Amino acid sequence: MRRLFITTSIAFILGGCGAQDESAHATQANSVPTAPDVVSMTLPELSVGLANEAFSSVDLVQAYLGRIERIDRAGPKLNAVISVNKDALKLAQKSDLRRGEGRALSPLDGIPVLLKDNIESRDQLATTAGSTALLDNVTGRDSPLVAALRASGAIILGKTNLSQWANFRSSHSVSGWSSVGGLVKNPHVLDRQACGSSSGSAAAAAASLAAATVGTETNGSIICPSQVNGVVGLKPTHGLLPIEHIVPIAATQDTAGPITKSVAGAALMLDGMTGWQNDYAGSLDASVIKGMRIGVLDFSRNDSPRLNAQFDAAIARMAAAGATLIRIERNDTPPEFWGAARLVLGAEFKVFLTEYLSGSPADIPIRSLAELVAFNNDNAEVEQAVFGQDILESSLDAPAMESDTYEDALALIRQTTRDNGIDALLREHDIQVLMGPSGPVSPRVDVVNGDVWPAWAGAGAMAAISGYPNLTVPMGTIAGVPVGVSFMGGRGADALLLSVGVAFEASGSGSPEPQYKPSVEAEDMRAL
């Protein structure tokens, strides 16, 4: 049941729709029902339903496979799922047998999960990172987080599409596009950005194509897709989850994290991914917010009145729930910060990607970053159909990780985001948690100019570069386009953030159900 979309033209990337096709597409999209029956449930609800034998794991797998066929491959054609595990039903049958014998392995036993396609699993699934160079990268290995999920009884349903090479290929990229999977579409408004690089994981979670998904982040790649697709995303503390057997960018920042439709679901997934060492789900406590001092990152707003109104409403909800809000108007960033951040990523990418490729046990045509650049040039019609590879090329000339240049840059960005960043804000304002918008309102996809985003909102880079946790929770929609609020804390504050997220969720938030609108603008013009 594996699907590979190898795009060779922009028309194909956009679904191959001309004027006549767009009308049919709109009809299909509008006819898609909201998630029915079991697939509309949150992860904790599914776990309880399995425990109570209201349905079986086989029922769940069949329901999600059917939904992938109807919504991802037909209908709106989200392009969120790259491949499906042909053994998923067999694994579900084994789970049902265990449960029937009273041997359920965990609350995740029998739960279907999708993995971002830069994360290895020992199933007969390639780990492509969205590149045709890795179509045969079937390693037979589980990344440690996948091994932990498997030991919990979770069903690896398949792999999700992503921004190719985790969006570390071009400064003019189209987020959510890969040569293997095509362009991921936002299920809320189909011509809006699904963001990257975990676009497929977030879109799949929003469209109920699995009970939960796993994404990865180096700098924003869990938080941004989760917020624009209207789901919960957790970027955990760096190092909480091992990153072995995940296609890398930078070891000092890379992490995986759960994407779900509820905060409690994210906590359950984090429990499973960490081998049930910390009981994140069991320690959820919405009452922690009462009397808590939370820093409001006013400096992280942008100039969107509608986004700021949503954020103000989120602040009011936190205050009504008992939190004390402390306004923070500024946080200075040295002018050389962003250059240093880019240098660190390039230096690490050159080393760690080559290390990954050279160590793959699969039969693949590239074994180094240099060979990848050459492969993309030799296969430009497919690999560079939409944008080039200037980031890959510049990374070839990045300084060595043993150099003073790299060490100085790493020290600068860590000092800026830790000592003078999150740690300083928490200490100076006597607060426990920081709160800001998760990002700007998602723009329309632009395959001509690449990603063209509004002025950025949010401060997620501080959490990503510092290695500290960041949780995004839906806070509303603007013209049907979801927006989220982020909660950040110090190193190891994952459990605290999840409890704060539960409290915010209980104040009236939830994942909006996708409407599969072809375009917001089309509706607005008709209204005029």
Amino acid identity for residue 375 in this structure = F
Task: Please report whether residue 202 resides in a domain.
Answer: yes
Res 11: pLDDT: 28
Pick the closest to residue 215 from 126, 118, 83 (CA basis): 118
Res 39: pLDDT: 73
Bond before 197 cis per omega within 30 degrees: yes
Task: Please report whether residue 2 resides in a domain.
Answer: no
* 1: its two tokens: 């049941």
Q: pLDDT tens digits for 247-288?
A: 999 999 999 999 999 999 999 999 999 999 999 999 999 999
CA dihedral 122, 125, 129, 132 (to 10 degrees): 140
Kindly state the helix (H) or strand (E) to which residue 114 belongs, with its residue range: strand 112-116
* 353: its two tokens: 């990607």
Rg (CA), the chain: 22
Q: pLDDT tens digits for 397-440?
A: 999 999 999 999 999 999 999 999 999 999 999 999 999 999 99
Measured CA to CA, the distance from residue 172 to residue 136 in angstroms comes to 28
Pick the closest to residue 276 from 156, 432, 154 (CA basis): 154
Task: Please report whether residue 5 resides in a domain.
Answer: no
Kindly state the helix (H) or strand (E) to which residue 159 belongs, with its residue range: strand 155-160
* 38: its two tokens: 């079991």
What residues act catalytically? 116, 197, 221
Res 234: pLDDT: 99
Pairing of strands 112-116, 212-217: parallel
Task: Please report whether residue 463 resides in a domain.
Answer: yes
CATH number at residue 138: 3.90.1300.10
Task: Please report whether residue 479 resides in a domain.
Answer: yes
Residue 299 belongs to domain spanning: 10-527
Task: Give pLDDT < 50 ranges for the chain.
Answer: 1-36, 528
Task: Please report whether residue 351 resides in a domain.
Answer: yes
Q: pLDDT tens digits for 285-306?
A: 999 999 999 999 999 999 999 9
Alpha-helix residue ranges (DSSP H) falling in 111-246: 144-151, 199-206, 223-228
User: How many structural domains are present in the chain?
Assistant: 1
Res 9: pLDDT: 30
Amino acid identity for residue 84 in this structure = V
Q: Supply the DSSP string of 125-151, one letter for each residue.
A: ----TT-GGGTT-------HHHHHHHH
Task: Please report whether residue 4 resides in a domain.
Answer: no
CA dihedral 74, 80, 85, 89 (to 10 degrees): -60
Q: Are 10 and 447 in contact (CB under 8 A)?
A: yes
pTM for this prediction: 0.93
Task: Please report whether residue 126 resides in a domain.
Answer: yes
Mention every residue, 6+ apart, whose C-beta is less than 8 A from residue 173.
Answer: 163, 164, 167, 196, 387, 450, 451
